[in-house]
Structures are given as structure tokens and as C-alpha cells.
Chain A
């Protein structure tokens, strides 16, 4: 390795960035851990963790490579059913179910690798169709003996909400650490280079296919693990719940609202928008669709690059 390259790795500016990013991630995880003792609606807190992790998982593939999969929920559903089938049929411990959730999502991502040959809207729509196809298979009544078809699964034997809450927190912590690494490593920079210009990236010696594939698998892995821990925490669910397209939409909106490629953007997006979502749901549920829809329109019109662009447009680097 050339001398100058190793000098860059220890750049003091980069060390400061890693510390700031790490501190933000640690505050987010510690905050969600502390909230469990302060707020009684654990399910709502759990859902916050789910979306905090999903928005960051989506950040890996969209923020760093520019691919926006509308069918991101497919990996989440694959993880949920990977967990459920392992626990139901093999009667294995929940932690092994989590491993199965990860494997299921990775296998689906490998199966869908050819989608990366598409780009833009074509990729987004194709990924949504793929997620729908997986849903149709899982929800098929003819597969009732295996997946329970449309009738849903019950995993009462492993139900342990306190444990699954902290496992979800651990997944969030791991995902945030992954994003911090991507933001501050040469591999993460190489992904951003591919996103900026794949031809130039290749002429910098970067393997474009390898970079995109790794980002795709990492992103799917996060969604699979989150889906798995969702199944563990909820313990009774249906294909419609695990493959609900609104999970993709929410994660996408939260990510875009905050600002992709950053660590703090998706965190802010979830905390603000999912906070508003829950507040509206509790106070004036009849106006929910209207309020949320208007919010998204305003976002697209006035902040297309997310909240963080208020600072980045002034040349300020956002963690």
C-alpha cells in the first residue's frame, strides 16, 4: 500500500468524524434503551426501533449506491418468515431463528441480484414486484402446512418481549455502527464513488459489481434481522403484516425526509415523522392521511434532499 494512503487512514479530521458519528449512534441507542423504563407503550417504542434500523438499512443501499428498492419490505418479510418457520417447524431457540432470518434475507437478496442491472424507477418497481411475488408465495393457502398461508403464524413458545426488545436495540446498534463504518471507510467512499459515476469508479480500480453486491447484501441483512426480531416480538402475525408495502414507504419517507448518506438524517426522519404519525394517530386519527400526505408533498417540494440539506447547502458537513 502506498505510504500516502496509510497516512489518510489516520487523518485527524476522519478520527473526529468517526467519534462524532459514533456518539450520535450511541445516544440514539441509549435513548431507546432508557425510554423503555420511562414510557409504558413498549410496542410503539419497539416500532420506533424497527424504523430507525430499517431507515438506516435502506440508507446503505440508497444513500451509498443510489438504488432505491420500493420492495425493501420483501427482505423484512423474508426475515420474519425465516424466523417463524425455524421456530415453528424445527423448534429451535429464538436466537437460531434470528440466524435463519438473516439467511433468508441474504438468500432472497442473492436471488434478486440481477435486479441491480436495472436502475432508477425500473429498479424500484422491479424490487416492489419481487417483494409482492414473495408475499404471494408465503400467503398461498396451498402452502398452509409450511407457511400457514394467509392464516398467519403464532410463535407463543418463544414470546419474550423484554429480550426481543433488547435484541432489536442490538440490531439497531449494529446497523448504526455499519453506517458509521461506511461513512468513514474507503469501502464506503468507494460506494459513493460508484453512485456518483460508475465508469469513473471503475477507472479508479473499484470493482463496481462487487461494491454494489456487498451493499445490497448488507442492506438486505439489516431488513432480514429487523423482520426476524419483529416476528419474535409480535409472535402472532400474518403475511399482510410482514409484507405490508407501507413498511417500505415509511422507511423510504423517513430516510428521504432526514437526508440519505448521513447518519443523523434517517434518525431525525424517524423521530420526527414517526413521532408525528403516532401523535396524529392518538389525537386526530381522522385527519391522519390528509396531514401526513401534505407533509410529504411539502417535503418533496421544498426539501428534496432532506432536512440535512438545510445545513449541507451552507457547506456544513452533517454527521
Chain B
């Protein structure tokens, strides 16, 4: 995406940010609350039309297409607060995405549910799942559409250490299979396990790009995260 801009009234949520992501790569998007990370995902996934700039996918500008069309192109996402179809069963949640997603997923519905350990609860209503399971179902539904770009919005929040480790492993496996992943996350240990490089955002702009280790040593990044004025 090039010089992407999004305004809400007078507030500039995205202020000309540029990101590049390649197949098989995991890019972490970090920054304080309100820095524009989720807005970035919302614009790429078609939830908000951009006010400026361009999102390009596979060399083609995707403009302001509706979300369901972007899904069929190969872009999908998960949500910070999981959003399964609560009145449907786990299997129906995933089956619908496999059917309407319009792309052949590498795994069928049954294999996908098994790979994400949702197979034992396949016939249960999604409303009966706990928060971690609903997050996994969000991921399963996105995967069922056969995405090539997966936008992951705070998947780690609320997971216990064992669940975190499993989720990190899953995301790494997806990248090894050739998916491009954009991971928005506050939990730095998770970002460290999953990502190849990070972009740090503040006030809708990119302030750093590089490895997570380098980011923690960058004076501007430290100032944005910890606050305080300039020294010296």
C-alpha cells in the first residue's frame, strides 16, 4: 500500500503510510493505541474506503472494492474481538466461507477444522465456544476462503501461554506455506515469535521499519511507547 490516508472528521487515522509485504513474509504492525493499526487493516480489507493513496495486490490496484470481492481476490482478516456467526455451528461458519469465498483453499473444511483443533466441536453452535476458540474459528473462517494475504488483528489478546504458543506456530506455518501475513499486535513476545520484520506506527504514520530488536533500541520508538520529551 502506498501513501494510504484515512480521515474520520478532522482526525487523521492514516496519514500517508506506505507498507510492502511479500508472499511468505510476516510483517508486524505495532504502535500505541490509536496509532492507526486497525484502521490500516480495515482499509485494506475494504471495511473503510481510503481517502487517499492506493492498495495494490498482486500488482493490481484494488481501489475501494467491497469486502466480499476482496475476499474472492485472496485477501482476508481476523478481528480483534472475534466475530463468529453465533447462531450457526462451527462447521457451518467455516463451510459458508469455503463456499462463498470463491477460491479453492488448500485444506477442505474437515481438514481445516482438524488442523485448528476445532473438529471435536464442529457441530456445536459458535455461541458455546470460549473466546480463544472463537478467535480460532475466526482464523478458520478466514483460511477457508483460501487467502494469499491474511490480516491478523490482535489475535493474541486474551490467550493463555499455551494457546499463544500454538497460535504463533500456526501463523508461522501459514507463512511457510506462502501466505503473506500482516500481524497487528500489542504483545511483543508474540510479535517476536511470529514476524520477520516490524513497522512501528504513531499518529497514522510509519516511524520505524526493521527488526523488533532494532525497534526496541530506536529512540523515537521508545519515546512514542514510553512517552517523555527529547533528551539532551
**Interface residues in chain A, defined as those with a beta carbon under 8 Å from any beta carbon in chain B:** 1-5, 7-8, 13, 186, 189-190, 192-193, 195-197, 199-209, 261
Write the B76-105 contact mask toward A (1 if CB under 8 angstroms, else 0): 110100011111100111011111111011
The 7 closest A-B pairs by CB, nearest first: A4-B108, A205-B100, A202-B67, A4-B109, A204-B97, A205-B101, A200-B83
Chain B residues near A7 (CB-CB < 8 A): 108-110
Sampled A-B contacts (30; CB under 8 Å): A2-B105, A2-B108, A2-B109, A4-B95, A4-B109, A5-B98, A7-B108, A8-B95, A8-B109, A13-B123, A189-B88, A189-B95, A189-B96, A193-B88, A193-B96, A196-B87, A197-B84, A197-B86, A199-B67, A200-B141, A201-B85, A203-B67, A203-B97, A203-B141, A204-B68, A205-B68, A205-B97, A205-B100, A205-B145, A207-B68
Interface residue B111 (Cβ < 8 Å from any Cβ of A): yes
Known: A193-B85, A202-B68. A5 touches B99 (CB 8 A): yes
- B104→A192 contact, CB < 8 A: no
Neighbouring A residues of B99 by C-beta, 8 Å: 1, 5, 186, 205
Report the minimal beta-carbon distance from B141 to chain A, rounded to whole angstroms. 6
Taking a contact as CB atoms closer than 8 A, the residue among B66, B105, B112 that contacts A202 in the complex is: B66
Which residues of A lie under 8 Å from residue B144 when comparing CB positions? 204
Q: Report the interface size for chain B: residues with CB under 8 A from the other chain.
A: 41
Q: Please name 7 further chain A to chain B contacts, defined as beta carbons within 8 Å, in addition to the given A196-B87, A197-B85, A205-B102, sorted by A numbering.
A: A5-B98, A189-B92, A193-B96, A196-B85, A205-B71, A205-B72, A205-B145
Known: A203-B45, A204-B141. A2 touches B85 (CB 8 A): no
User: In the complex the two chains form, what is the Cα distance from A208 to B47 in whole Å?
Assistant: 13
Cβ-defined contact, A4 with B67, below 8 A: no
Shortest Cβ distance from B103 into A: residue? A205
Nearest CB of A to B162, in Å: 27
Partner of A200 from the list B46, B72, B79, B123 (CB cut-off 8 Å) is B79
Min CB–CB distance A260 → chain B (angstroms): 11
Residue contact B109 to A204, C-beta cutoff 8 Å: no
Q: Is B142 an interface residue (CB 8 A)?
A: yes
Q: Find B68's partner among A1, A186, A206 (CB 8 Å cutoff).
A: A206
Given A186-B96, A205-B68, A205-B71; A5-B85 close (CB under 8 Å): no
Which residue of A has the minimal Cβ distance to B95? A8
Please tell me if the beta carbons of B83 and A199 are within 8 angstroms of each other in the complex.
yes
A196 with B72, Cβ < 8 A, contacts A4-B98, A8-B109 known: no
A186: B residues at CB distance < 8 A: 95-96, 99-100
A287, chain B: closest CB distance, angstroms: 39
Q: B96–A199 contact, CB under 8 A?
A: no
Q: How far is the CA of A13 from the CA of B122 in the complex (A)?
A: 13
Residues of B with C-beta under 8 A to A195: 87
CA distance A208 to B138 in the complex (A): 18
CA gap between A193 and B77 in the complex, in Å: 17
B71 touching A202, Cβ below 8 Å: yes
Residues of B within 8 A of A205 (CB): 68, 71-72, 97, 99-102, 145
Closest-by-CB residue of B relative to A209 is B66
Query: Within residues 7 to 52 of chain B, which ones have a CB less than 8 A from any CB in chain A?
Result: 45-47
